[in-house]
Structure 1
């Protein structure tokens, strides 16, 4: 006589179960807009029942979406947490590698998850997304060693964070072109150019730029950008006269 096969399920604690459901939701939101994902989809992905999803998220999909967004936001904020040692451009490049890797991993869902493009977006989700931007800017200012940045420097850094977001979205629209490493290098150059332009009219930014550029190696991004830029002015000497 053949005995019946019994399947045993491990009971999860509250925190573990919530994390499991959030992970399942993130996996779906990563490639589909939140409005296209149902609680039945999440339940199926997590291999649980729909009532169980409601038990942990009584607010339904909106509550689950906000929890998933918060989880994604926490991961994104960590992208810019880099040890404050070595040349500035090397640190920026490492942070961008993590950020762009996150974007690639979440692919088409990046816009809906983090750019407020979903119909389930609320003031709370907007605050979560804005918090990511502010946290990223705070990390960059730490790398610049500026405890009390002035308005010009703060605006420059926040402008660059916006450019990083926009470039990431455009790259998704362009079927992930250019390659990730090329976009990373271009965004590092963009930061250097923004800092240089700001330093031309702001004493605090000028002090930051001098200190940062002095620590860069000759064969690093700043040196390469400077050497590529100089020839652009060869036929425009009158600009320096």
Structure 2
């Protein structure tokens, strides 16, 4: 049986609590629809006390986005062992875990909300994208990427982001299919770049050499080979 007496929190502990409460609410509804009164009620404190720790809703919103951005960036961290295709599949699984758990908050982070256009928000979005980009380069074991490799990786990061945003709008495609499709998309982007650049071709050969036939990349090759047999051969006159 509890005494009903609330434990007094220190400043940092209370700030962490408010950020957690705000992030939870923003994960269920658009930040525009969440009021300071709701945040205060969910935290079990008064509205004026919220303002004691944060000067306004935007500052609390940005603090919540900071935590979300840090967590999202961490989803791209993966041990650099084993075939690349399997690693990317696990990364996409964790990425969509975040998207599914924090749908409105993810959309707000990427599309903007109460803090849209603010320097802090734009910087957080850029940090998430940069963290994902650097993690992929680390998996490719490339220190200084060529122009085509940078274009390939950044395009894929952008594609993953836009795919997740579109998926949230109705979830019309099964999530697991999209996770695998995005892994295939990375291989496809690399293959197209390899057709134009010898360095990219060498990198692609190195990647595929370590891929098992039953892995995501091997699966893609099999599917494309099967599709090729269905394309009618054009005979000359």
TM-score higher than 0.5: yes
Q: Does 1:182 align with 2:177?
A: yes
Note the C-alpha offset of 1:111: 1.0
Matches within 5 A, 1:102-113: 102-112=98-108
1:96 counterpart (80, 92, 99): 92
What TM-score, normalized to structure 1?
0.91
What TM-score, normalized to structure 2?
0.92
CA contact (8 A) 2:62 2:115 kept: no
CA contact (8 A) 1:79 1:99 kept: yes
1:67 counterpart (59, 63, 67): 63
1:216 counterpart (203, 211, 215): 211
- Aligned counterpart, 2:7: 10
Deviations 1:145-177 (A, max 9, x none): 100001111111111111111111111112x23
1:148 counterpart (127, 144, 151): 144
- Aligned counterpart, 1:116: 111
Q: Does 1:128 align with 2:124?
A: yes
CA contact (8 A) 1:116 1:126 kept: no
Note the C-alpha offset of 1:195: 0.8
2:40 counterpart (40, 43, 63): 43
Note the C-alpha offset of 1:238: 6.1
Distance in 1 (alpha carbons) for counterparts of 2:86 and 2:158: 20
Distance in 2 (alpha carbons) for counterparts of 1:170 and 1:124: 25
- Aligned counterpart, 1:87: 83
- Aligned counterpart, 1:231: 226
Deviations 1:125-147 (A, max 9, x none): 01111110111111011111100
CA contact (8 A) 2:27 2:103 kept: yes
CA contact (8 A) 2:61 2:114 kept: no
CA contact (8 A) 1:89 1:188 kept: yes
CA contact (8 A) 1:43 1:49 kept: yes
Distance in 2 (alpha carbons) for counterparts of 1:98 and 1:227: 26
May I ask how many residue pairs the two structures share in their alignment?
232
Q: Which runs of 5+ in 2 are unaligned?
A: none
Note the C-alpha offset of 1:119: 3.8
Q: Does 1:195 align with 2:183?
A: no
